[in-house]
Amino acid sequence: MGKSDRKALVLQYLVHTRLALPTAVLYRNMRLRQNATFSESTLKNYLSELEEEGLIKRVDPEAMAERKVVEVDNGRGYWLATEAGREQTDGSFSFM
């Protein structure tokens, strides 16, 4: 599985679960549910690239407690697929 396939797997996971997840939780679930073999630091690189491509965004977890989705520019946050990210996935994703 190449880099583009692994990035697509991360995006598909976020789209399919429809959850906003912190990096550590996303990493653990990717390892458990998708048998991901890449490291957490590699995941962070993929997340940064997907964010630059506009396919995911980082949101404020505190605002979510108030049922608001507020995008944050940097620092700590949860990852959430954007509309563009949802449109890019092909729907063939399945949990292992």
Question: pLDDT by residue (tens digit) across 30-82?
Answer: 999 888 999 999 999 999 999 999 999 999 999 999 999 999 987 789 999 99
- Domains of the chain are 3-88 (1.10.10.10)
Mean pLDDT check: name the lowest of 27-31, 59-63, 87-91.
87-91
Q: Is the pLDDT of residue 24 over 90?
A: yes
Its pTM stands at 0.89
The 3-state secondary structure of 34-90, one letter per residue:
HCCCCCHHHHHHHHHHHHHCCCEEEECHHHHCCCCCCECCCCCCEEEECHHHHHHCC
Position 92 confidence tier, pLDDT thresholds 50, 70, 90: low
